[in-house]
């Protein structure tokens, strides 16, 4: 599945050919981790998206309001003595973009929000009838900035882990349906890049795929915030419907892409990942959920070994 860029070469100024990209298989448009700082470019992109009934997905951080990325502003100042990633950099851009999407009646998806204020803004604009959706990553409903003190650079990610009040706010957003999608934000740098003495020099990102299911089972389902079916909907059918994918459901003659797992069985997270990188702040933690089988297109591609 292809997510095409909004602007050419991520330049933030010149829009790509939405029509041609859609005709050639693009499902949606995003400049990935690069925010659209130009208000005009954003508005033009949303106008074009509305014209073609396309989805725009945005990473919401104003670079002019941020310091060092990956470190929440509170712990950055108190412990690392630097200016970190501010909350206002996220929610001020969320406010701008969702209101322009409302004005243009365009579909907009807020990627991996992390602040309580961002949840409130999405709730507000949804109440106006805007075609705005939002997602959160498992790490942001599971942990706070304090994980940096024990896991180091492996807990450095963008947006950063925030405060306990933010963690609880995104959980409330998941419970109410304001946040309809859980996405891994899988972004693992090379181990050598993470293994630097100065955490401010380490790149942001973590291996998200390997622990995404277990974090939700542990911190949402087992904690009593969501039912198992509600949680799985946010991991499967909701994102599939958002991107118009023939996926995320069980039906005879439907897509045979399945994960069979023991939802209450404990696992200790090890570095034995299938991903090429294993830089995860959750290694060593005991989480719920053990995957027994993974089936892709009808073929068993993974079987758990006891």
Catalytic residues: 185
Phi-psi region of 32 (alpha: psi -120 to 50; beta: other; left: phi over 0): left
Tokens of 272: 């034995």
Which residue spans within 65-224 are E strands per DSSP? 107-110, 132-136, 181-182
d(CA 203, CA 144): 18
Q: What is the DSSP string of 262-285?
A: EEEEEEE--S--SSS----TTTT-
| Helix H or strand E segment including 291 | strand 286-296
Q: Within 10 A of 234 (CB to CB), how many other CB atoms are there?
A: 21
Cα 109 to Cα 36: distance, rounded to the nearest angstrom: 14
What the block records as the tokens of 196 is 């630097």
Give, for 2, the enclosing helix (H) or strand (E). strand 2-4
């Amino acid at each position: 599945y292809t997510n095409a860029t909004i602007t050419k070469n991520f330049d933030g100024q010149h829009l790509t050919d939405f029509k041609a990209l859609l005709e050639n298989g693009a499902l949606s448009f995003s400049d990935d981790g690069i925010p659209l700082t130009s208000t005009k470019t954003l508005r033009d992109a949303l106008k074009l998206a509305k014209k073609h009934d396309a989805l725009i997905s945005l990473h919401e951080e104003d670079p002019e309001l941020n310091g060092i990325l990956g470190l929440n502003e509170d712990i950055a100042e108190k412990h690392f003595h630097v200016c970190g990633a501010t909350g206002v950099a996220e929610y001020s851009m969320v406010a701008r973009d969702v209101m322009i999407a409302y004005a243009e009646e365009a579909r907009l998806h807020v990627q991996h929000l992390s602040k309580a204020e961002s949840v409130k803004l999405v709730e507000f604009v949804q109440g106006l009838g805007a075609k705005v959706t939002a997602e959160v990553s498992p790490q942001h409903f599971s942990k706070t900035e304090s994980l940096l003190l024990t896991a180091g650079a492996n807990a450095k990610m963008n947006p950063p882990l925030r405060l306990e009040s933010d963690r609880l706010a995104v959980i409330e957003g998941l419970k109410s349906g304001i946040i309809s999608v859980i996405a891994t934000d899988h972004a693992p740098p090379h181990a050598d890049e993470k293994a630097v003495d100065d955490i401010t020099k380490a790149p942001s990102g973590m291996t998200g795929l390997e622990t995404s299911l277990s974090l939700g089972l542990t911190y949402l389902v087992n904690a009593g915030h969501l039912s198992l079916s509600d949680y799985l909907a946010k991991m499967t059918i909701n994102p599939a419907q958002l991107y118009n994918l023939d996926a995320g459901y069980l039906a005879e003659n439907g897509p045979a892409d399945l994960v069979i797992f023991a939802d209450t069985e404990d696992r200790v997270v090890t570095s034995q990942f299938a991903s090429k990188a294993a830089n995860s702040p959750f290694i060593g933690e005991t989480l719920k959920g053990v995957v027994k089988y993974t089936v892709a297109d009808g073929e068993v591609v993974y079987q758990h070994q006891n």
